[in-house]
Amino acid sequence: MRLNPTVAGTLLAALGVGLGAFGAHSLRGMLRAADLATFETGVRYQMYAALALLALGAGGRRGAWAPLLLAGTVIFSGSLYLLVLTGPRWLGAITPIGGVLMIAGLLVAAWQARKA
């Protein structure tokens, strides 16, 4: 089954809004300012990826870029959420892997768009 970027983007955006609200209302006051900022970074980059998936999907773009971008977002943002909520600092070492996958997905999308 092929990944539908519009569905993935919509689900990532909905989850991002929910997590953003959770961070703003439930975590504020419970976390140090630096941890809250880390959580917000995860939400922000999740929303950037959601918007990219939606825009590229709406343009009819399909291809290898979407799974890369989605996996990168799950690893990047997910590791930040887990780092803040569960505490293991080693999770911060995983975050850049997600960032690299996100960048790769966007570069593949650009490459495919250039060829189209």
Cβ proximity of 52 and 69 under 8 Å: yes
For residue 64, which phi and psi values (nearest 5 degrees)? -65, -20
Residue closest to 42 by CA, chosen among 20, 69, 10, 9: 20
For residue 15, pLDDT over 80 is answered with yes
Cβ proximity of 9 and 52 under 8 Å: yes
Computed over every residue of the chain, the mean pLDDT equals 94
Under the banding of pLDDT at 50, 70 and 90, the label for residue 1 is: low
For residue 27, which phi and psi values (nearest 5 degrees)? -95, -25
The pLDDT value given to residue 22: 96
The pLDDT value given to residue 73: 98
pLDDT in tens, 45-96: 999 999 999 999 888 877 889 999 999 999 999 999 999 999 899 999 999 9
For residue 2, count other CB atoms closer than 10 A to its CB: 8
For residue 5, pLDDT over 80 is answered with yes
pTM (predicted TM-score):
0.93
The pLDDT value given to residue 59: 83
For residue 51, which phi and psi values (nearest 5 degrees)? -65, -40
Cα torsion 68, 42, 7, 59: sign: negative
Range 32-43 average pLDDT: 96
